[in-house]
Amino acid sequence: MRNQSGEVIFMMVGMRKRKRRWVFVTSLLAILAVVLCCAMLLLGNTIYPANVVIRSLMGEEIAGANFAVNTIRLPRMITGLFAGFAFGVAGYIFQTILRNPLANPNILGITSGSSAAAVFCITVLHLSNTAISIAAVMAGLIIVIAMYFLSRGRSFSIGRLIIIGIGMQAMLDAVISYLMLKSAQQDIAGVLRWLSGSLNGSKMSEVLPLIIIVAVCTPIMLLLGKQLSMLELGDQMAASLGVATDKIRIILIGSSVFIIAIATATTGPIAFISFLAGPIANRLVGVSASNILPAGLVGANLVLFADLIGQFAFEYRFPVGVITGLLGAPYLIYLLIRMNRKGEL
């Protein structure tokens, strides 16, 4: 009895420590996001004092500051914050459900599907930004549904899903290249800016759908966080614990596809955010019941930080996707080498 009581106490102490660490790290990530948001508003061709920025945001007419802060910097900051959060959360969901650090929406072809739809709308149909967003979301949903049914066979297979996703990505990337070769010269610049992943030209009217989708889907994911952790144990174990595996998986993947498709339609496919956010969050917080919120905050911080570097660290300004690509590529190589040594590839 004493041994059992000691084990129970030890487990409770461990749970409290993990909870305190989760709260502490998540709070730090939220504070860092606030600091980066403030930097996005203060910095630019003209550096404005904090009181000028606040007065401008409150509606006071200040020559020069109103346009720079309210029309350029504020939409850019909000877009980066919500898009980064969306990419981070979606990447963590996919990596956890599929139990593979390589299983993120970029590699599985979901963002490529949204990108192909957007490029087709830009170069062939010449549609509005709203129509492009709708087409990107629909394409992402169609791709994930097709992948899910193609990977089922007699039963759902994670390995089969990843292989099909990689093949789907290659095919869709070829479609994008073909559309660019056949497109008019005047459309190339817009397509390249969009494909590189950029916050340039962000507008409040265009970011509103992203805010709404993130606000709707994130609570759903957080409520299913416990079931998500159980899915990581495998379908049989999760089912024995009372989890409706197919239903929960469909809800989580559907929510992830919605937010990453609308984020891709808003900013373009910002490289490696969905790939990096989950592992970084797990490393900072540790294995806990759910790291959905920390992963989202890591994604938001990565996008905001990378955009600041792209704007001010070099002689020329680079889109945020270029900087995140430079940050993420070495980690991908390291992960592949580590997995190969462990015999996971």
Quick one: CA torsion of 39, 44, 47, 51, rounded to 10 degrees? -50
Query: Residue 195: which of 178, 214, 180 has the closest Cα?
Result: 180
Quick one: CA torsion of 246, 220, 76, 48, rounded to 10 degrees? -150
The parent domain of residue 32 ranges over 2-341
Angle, vertex CA 228, rays to CA 19 and CA 251, nearest 5: 135
How many residues are listed for the chain in this entry?
Answer: 345
Place of tokens 């630019």: 44
| pLDDT value at residue 26 | 92
Contact 78, 205 (CB under 8 A): no
CA separation for the pair 137, 105 (Å, rounded): 13
- Identify the sign of the CA torsion 204, 207, 213, 215: negative
| pLDDT value at residue 13 | 58
Helix axes 110-120, 245-267, angle to 10 degrees: 40
DSSP-assigned letter for residue 153: T
| pLDDT value at residue 75 | 92
Angle, vertex CA 243, rays to CA 241 and CA 247, nearest 5: 165
331: domain CATH number? 1.10.3470.10
| pLDDT value at residue 343 | 59
CA separation for the pair 109, 153 (Å, rounded): 20
**How does pLDDT run along the chain (345 residues), one tens digit per residue?**
555 555 555 455 556 777 888 889 999 999 999 999 999 999 888 888 888 888 888 888 887 788 888 888 999 999 999 999 999 999 999 888 877 777 777 777 778 888 888 888 888 887 777 787 788 878 878 887 888 777 766 666 667 777 888 888 888 889 888 888 887 777 777 777 777 788 887 888 888 888 999 999 999 999 988 888 777 777 677 777 777 777 888 888 888 888 888 888 888 888 888 888 888 888 888 766 688 999 999 999 999 999 999 988 888 888 888 888 888 878 777 777 776 676 555
Number of domains in the chain: 1
CA separation for the pair 213, 102 (Å, rounded): 25
